[in-house]
Chains A and B, each alone.
Chain A
Amino acid sequence: MSVKLNTRQVGDVTVIDVSGRITLGEGSSALRDALRELVAKGNKKILLNLGDVSYIDSSGIGELVSGFTTVANQGGTLKLLSLTKRVKDLLQITKLYTVFDVHEDEAHAIRSFA
């Protein structure tokens, strides 16, 4: 299953629900395009819901990092929501878990942008 992205607005926070695989090729480029489009439109509070992401490779990790820096460079914030155990493990062994602001609960994550 390739990646699927659904974008919704919760107050002034843009939530991207991601499902499937974020791997080199279609998966990582779709995420990159979505984040760049949101930033270009002026969205500065972005919450990436990875709860239904079954697989992520180093290219996918690279897109998360690029998204994080792209949003930050525009004065915005990108946070992560609902990591699966495997994605959490991956971010921990690459020492990125502490770089991202990671949340388990969506309402709590939304409030944290205030």
Chain B
Amino acid sequence: MELDTGAKEVLDHHYPSTLESVDLAEGEILKAAEHTGFDEDDRHRIGMAVRECMVNAVVHGNRYNRNKRVHVRVSVGVSFTIRITDQGEGFEVQEVPDPLHDTNLLRHSGRGLFLMGAFMDDMKVCKVSPAGTEVTLVKNIGPKES
């Protein structure tokens, strides 16, 4: 994932750890995506990735803790980059079961991270100090490759 040095930040907001924040963040980011010029299909994919990421941050990261916030930033440059940071205990990405494996297909949960990766062009998960997880979701801007 390359550093987008000329990017302009278009959203920087801290949300409480509630399910209402999932809708609010999705709505704000979709507005920015529309302003950036993404078509309806791309906005749908971005919205789904954001929803999955926000749910993870609120439910699994911050565990609905009212004293914890979810930090959401969006920057637009050569790409549309979303960073969503929680204040949870973190997790090891490599320990998340593969939802496409035959033994996991009928599991109730565990598809969120996979869907984020499927709907975006790039995704990165890293731990932040002193505690928490930051997920970076990237959608490329410009003509689609044929």
* Distance to closest chain B CB from A25 (angstroms): 5
Q: Which of B58-110 contact A (CB under 8 A)?
A: 59, 99-100, 105-109
* Distance to closest chain A CB from B61 (angstroms): 14
Please judge, given known A-B contacts A93-B118, A94-B114, whether A62 and B109 are in contact too, CB under 8 Å: yes
**A5 within 8 Å of B (CB atoms):** no
Complex CA gap A59/B112 in Å reads: 8
Contacts of A93 in B (CB 8 A): 115, 118
Interface centre among B55, B99, B111 (most CB of A within 10 A): B111
How many chain A residues touch B (Cβ–Cβ < 8 Å)? 20
**B42 within 8 Å of A (CB atoms):** no
Please judge, given known A-B contacts A25-B19, A94-B99, A94-B114, whether A57 and B105 are in contact too, CB under 8 Å: no
Interface string of A78-114 (1 = CB under 8 A from B): 0000000010001001111001000000000000000
B105 with A99: CB separation less than 8 A = yes
* Distance to closest chain B CB from A51 (angstroms): 18
A95 with B106: CB separation less than 8 A = no
A62 with B111: CB separation less than 8 A = yes
Contacts of A95 in B (CB 8 A): 100, 105
* Distance to closest chain A CB from B18 (angstroms): 10
**A66 within 8 Å of B (CB atoms):** yes
Name the one of B108, B112, B118 contacting A65, with C-beta atoms under 8 angstroms. B108
Interface string of A23-54 (1 = CB under 8 A from B): 11100000000000000000000000000000
Contacts of A99 in B (CB 8 A): 105-106
Contacts A/B (CB < 8 Å), 20 sampled: A24-B59, A57-B48, A57-B52, A58-B52, A58-B111, A58-B115, A59-B109, A61-B111, A62-B107, A62-B111, A63-B108, A65-B107, A68-B106, A90-B115, A93-B115, A93-B118, A94-B99, A94-B111, A95-B100, A95-B105
Residue positions of A touching B, CB distance < 8 A: 23-25, 57-59, 61-63, 65-66, 68-69, 86, 90, 93-96, 99
Closest 9 CB pairs of A and B: A58-B111, A62-B108, A58-B112, A66-B108, A95-B100, A62-B109, A25-B19, A93-B118, A65-B106
